[in-house]
Amino acid sequence: MEAPNQQPETILVVDGDVITRTVIADYLRQCGYRVIEAVNAWEAEQALNQEGFDVDIILSDVDLPGEMNGFQLASWVRQNMPDVKVILSSAVERTASAAGDLCEEGPHLAKPYDPATVVDHIKRLRGGSDRS
């Protein structure tokens, strides 16, 4: 049973495609998660560096606009915030598979993904807690 004062887990959704980002962010909110959205890795880093702001999981596309892609963002997170879990996704199956190989946690998602599959990955990363 969840403690009454416990905050919902926070997920940072990073995707340059506004439709994809908005759809999955809205779905995750409906499942009870606190969601922050970022267009690129720079915005993601800004959100992650805000004081008093804890992100539990990052769901990021591999192909991000800007100077840093999703692989580089995941590497930066592992070096600077090892407690934050990362799920990488890609529209290209081969890239999604490589993302899974590079992520220490192992999960990877090929786009278009089913929102329920995303929630399943998040639950597995967080030890199976049920939020839906």
- For residue range 45-94, what is the model confidence (pLDDT) as tens digits? 999 999 777 999 999 998 999 999 999 999 999 999 999 999 888 776 54
**pLDDT > 90? residue 3:** no
Q: What is the mean pLDDT of residues 111-124?
A: 79
Peptide bond into 112 cis (omega under 30): yes
Please check whether the domain covering 10-125 is classified as CATH 3.40.50.2300.
yes
pTM: 0.74
Dihedral of CA 113/117/119/123: which sign?
Answer: negative
More confident site: 30 or 3: 30
Q: What is the mean pLDDT of residues 19-25?
A: 91
> What pLDDT score does 119 carry?
85
Report the alpha-carbon distance of residue 79 to residue 73 in Å, rounded. Answer: 10
**pLDDT > 60? residue 40:** yes
Spell out the domain ranges in the chain: 10-125
Report the alpha-carbon distance of residue 90 to residue 4 in Å, rounded. Answer: 37
Q: Sheet containing 85-90: which strands, arranged edge to edge?
A: 34-38, 10-14, 57-61, 85-90, 108-110
- Give which of 57, 64, 49 is closest to 15, Cα–Cα: 64
Report the alpha-carbon distance of residue 4 to residue 7 in Å, rounded. Answer: 9
- Please give the span between the terminal C-alpha atoms of the chain, in angstroms, as a whole number: 14
Answer whether 110's CB lies under 8 Å from 90's CB: yes
> What pLDDT score does 93 carry?
55
> What pLDDT score does 125 carry?
77
